[in-house]
Amino acid sequence: MTGVPASAAGGSSSARRTGPRGASGATPEPAERTTPGGAVERDTAERGATEGGAAGRGGKIAAAAVNQASVWNVANLLTMLRLLLVPAFVALMLGNGGYDPAWRSFAWASFAVAMITDLFDGHLARTYNLVTDFGKIADPIADKAIMGAALICLSALGDLPWWVTAVILGRELGITVLRFVVIRYGVIPASRGGKLKTLTQGIAVGMYVLALTGPLATLRFWVMAAAVVLTVATGLDYVKQAIVLRRRGIAERRAALKETEA
């Protein structure tokens, strides 16, 4: 006689036979021992595995936190630089009455740096996973701020007709509003025409910022004309895409509603 009830022994045996994986793949119960105080301690190996799992989960959480892009990354710093260049550009553009070739050259240099950073910050953010909420908001603001400042300064100085400034800025602001209006149905992707428009605008405005004369002054007129044409054409294309996107989104919602009702 061992002093252990038969039912208890059978229960322990049954528990061992029908472990968490069932009869075919029974997993042994973790070894236990009773301390003098009556408390039950699990085997050291199980405790180590538990602690290891907790450490693993903690490591994953820590890794996820590290992988989140910081606001102070190189892409956002370039965007911040472009924002800071806006007041600097205006001061240089209007320096010494606004018609000094030297001051205009410095203004062109600041404008060129802003345009170059615009090319690189988005590419860096996408390539190295540096996309942040700040960048999504600040990047388009910086783009429109430097371009708008240049156009308004040129028109105020009489170098560029006001209607050109109105067409370009009106298109940029209008498309931005349009994107927000239809965002519930989807995102309007940037087209090749839009990228070409941005490049042409930058070249044209840069040529107007410089105090050019002779054939170069004539050339900049035609470059700006091309920029205006691309501005209007791509703007109409975005409007068309927005209409199609909205109609498709409404049709899909109606179809989903009919399926739900059915």
Summarised one tens digit per residue, pLDDT across range 205-252 is: 999 999 898 999 999 999 999 999 999 999 999 999 999 988 998 888
How big is the CA angle at 221 (ends 218 and 222), to the nearest 5 degrees? Answer: 95
Its pTM stands at: 0.68
Query: By CB neighbour count within 10 A (0-12 exposed, 13-18 middle, 19+ buried), where does 32 fall?
Result: exposed
How big is the CA angle at 138 (ends 136 and 140), to the nearest 5 degrees? Answer: 75
Q: Which letter, b or e, does each residue of 213-225 get, where b requires 16 or more Cβ atoms within 10 Å of its Cβ?
A: eeeeeeebeebbe
Residue 151 pLDDT > 90? yes
pLDDT at 27: 44
Instruction: Give the whole-angstrom CA distance, residue 220 versus residue 213.
Output: 10
Instruction: Give the whole-angstrom CA distance, residue 117 versus residue 256.
Output: 44
Greater pLDDT, 216 or 71:
216
pLDDT at 69: 62
Compute the average pLDDT of residues 175-204.
86
Query: By CB neighbour count within 10 A (0-12 exposed, 13-18 middle, 19+ buried), where does 83 fall?
Result: middle
Distance from chain centroid for Cα 10: 63
Compute the average pLDDT of residues 101-116.
94
Compute the average pLDDT of residues 27-48.
45
Compute the average pLDDT of residues 87-110.
94
Decide: 207 and 219 in contact? Cβ < 8 Å. Answer: yes
